[in-house]
Structures are given as structure tokens and as C-alpha cells.
Amino acid sequence: MRTVTITFFTMTICLLVVGCGTLGSKSEGTEEIEAAAKPKPVFETKIDIMLEMEKKEAAKAPTGRTGPYTIDTRWMGNDGFVVNWLIVGPFPNPGERPDNQGYDTDYLKDFGGEIGHIPAADMEIAKPDGTIVKWQPYKSPGPTIDFFMVGPLALDYSQEDVLTYSACWLECGEDVDVEIRVGSDDGYKLWLDHKLLGAEHVYRACEIDSESYPVKLTKGMHLLLIKVDQDWGDYQFIMRVVLPDGKAAPGVRVWN
């Protein structure tokens, strides 16, 4: 009986000691909760904010494109020339004026179509004869895009009856009202964000601001696609993106 009493007393003391130890210490989960509840030092908070901002900015960068480029190129007192493009071609433009057939032929029909196509550098496009051409980046040394000077097109000077596509993205830091002004030799079709913005089936020399298209560009990226055809003679186009008063549009940049 005495042995049982002593044993029970000993066990009771052990339980009390263990229990007190458990109650007096903190579990790992409790420590984590309390640590999370404590405010971070100011410098840690600022670093976290900066890192988060960098992640968001990186997510905005267009995958597989180069840029951004400014459009502050000036020429003879004029601003806003777009000189960085992706260009693909040449494609056939058979027939005689005014019935050259390439103007109304959608050579991108197997790649989303002219209205839905999304170009990318080195993207391959099959021509009707089965040969392959690629979208290639190009920066013009001047305000005019002279297709005879675009190396990847490999055009002979004054080559006739061809056409090409050119594309770029306009990035806007905020909503802005601009005018997209175009000159061409010869005709063109112009799409903005997969919508036909303008078309001129003409035979002419390239002059600055032959047509002007007022548009509201919202904050973000906007795809420009222009198809320019060639009958004979010079072969080029020129484009400006400017404010309604003709001055360079601040905050508008170009990717290709």
C-alpha cells in the first residue's frame, strides 16, 4: 500500500512538472503567428514595395520584343517619326494599275489574317509559292522607311509588283489623344489594334502627312500593322505619331 502511494505521488509530481513546462513555453506555431503580427522595420517594408513594383514592371514588358524606343526623331522641323519596325516580305503584287491584286490579298490568312495577326521577330510566314519569309526588326536611319534599304527583304532597286507588311507596338504611359499621320508610295492599309484604321489604294510619291487619323490611345500597348504595296518606282512609307498640334506625343514609346 505504501509502495503504491509513493508511486502515485511521484507520477503526480512528474505530470505537474511536465505540464508547467509545457504551459510556460511557446509552441513553434505560436512563435510564427506572433512574429508575423509584429510590424516589419520601415526599411524592410520599403524594400518589399520596391521588389513588388519591379515584378509588376517586368510583367508589363512585352515578351520577345525589343524597345522601348522614343519617337522624338526630328526632321525638317517635324516630330514624332516612327522608325523602329518589324518587317516581313516581299509578297507578290501582280497586275497592272489600278488593278494590282496583292492590295486585296490577305497573305497572313493562315496566321490569324491581316486583322488578327500578331507578329513576332523571326516568325515564319509561308508565301503562296511555298517559300518562307520571316518578320525581321529594322531601324531606319531616317524618317522614311525605304524598303529598298531593308536588308532582309533583299529587293532589287526599283523592283516592281511587290508588297510588304510592317508592324510595331505603341506603348502609352497614360491615355492620350494623338494623330497617326501617314505618307506612302504606293498604297497602304493600316490597322490599329486589329481594326482597319485607314486604306488608300493609290499610286503616288511618298509625302509627309498625306493622311491623318485622330485616335485616342489608352494606357498600355497598341499594335500597328501597315501593308504597303508597290507598282513601280520608289517604294517607301513614312509615319508620325503626334499630338493634334503636330508636336511629339509625350509618354508614347515604340516596341518592335
Question: Which CATH number goes with the domain that contains 150?
Answer: 2.60.120.380
**What predicted TM-score, i.e. pTM, was given to this entire model?**
0.76
Mean local confidence (pLDDT), 217-230: 98
Q: How far apart (Å, rounded) are the C-alpha atoms in residues 13 and 145? A: 93
The percentage of residues in the chain with a pLDDT greater than 70, rounded to a whole number, is 75
Q: How far apart (Å, rounded) are the C-alpha atoms in residues 182 and 184? A: 7
Please give the radius of gyration of the chain, using alpha carbons only, rounded to the nearest integer: 32
Residues 54 and 99 in one domain: no
Asked if the bond preceding 98 is cis, omega within 30° of 0, the reply is yes
pLDDT digits (tens, 9 = 90+) for 45-91: 544 553 454 334 334 445 678 999 988 667 888 999 999 999 999 99
The count of structural domains within the chain is 2
Residue span of the structural domain in which 220 resides: 69-255
- Report the length, in residues, of the chain: 256
pLDDT digits (tens, 9 = 90+) for 135-173: 999 999 999 999 999 999 999 998 999 999 999 999 999
Asked if the bond preceding 68 is cis, omega within 30° of 0, the reply is yes
Residues 33 and 14 in one domain: yes
Asked if the bond preceding 177 is cis, omega within 30° of 0, the reply is no
Which of residues 35, 60, 85 is at a domain's end?
Answer: 60
In the DSSP assignment, the letter for residue 61 is S
Residues 108 and 221 in one domain: yes
Asked if the bond preceding 90 is cis, omega within 30° of 0, the reply is yes
Residues 24 and 101 in one domain: no
pLDDT value of position 246: 94
Please report, as a single letter, which amino acid is at residue 40. Answer: K
Residues 84 and 191 in one domain: yes
Residues 32 and 104 in one domain: no
Residues 129 and 238 in one domain: yes
Residues 83 and 39 in one domain: no
Q: Does residue 18 register a pLDDT over 90?
A: no
The percentage of residues in the chain with a pLDDT greater than 90, rounded to a whole number, is 68
- Comparing CA positions, the residue from 188, 187, 205, 165 lying closest to residue 97 is 187
Phi, psi of 37 (to 5 degrees): -75, -20
3-class secondary-structure state, position 52: helix
Residues 6 and 125 in one domain: no
Which of residues 15, 39, 60 is at a domain's end?
Answer: 60
pLDDT value of position 62: 54
Residues 106 and 231 in one domain: yes
Helix (H) or strand (E) holding 180: strand 176-185
Residues 81 and 6 in one domain: no
- CB crowding 177-216: b at 16 or more within 10 Å, else e: ebbbbbbbbbbbbbbbeeeebeebebeeebebebbeeebe
Which of residues 42, 60, 78 is at a domain's end?
Answer: 60
Residues 93 and 47 in one domain: no
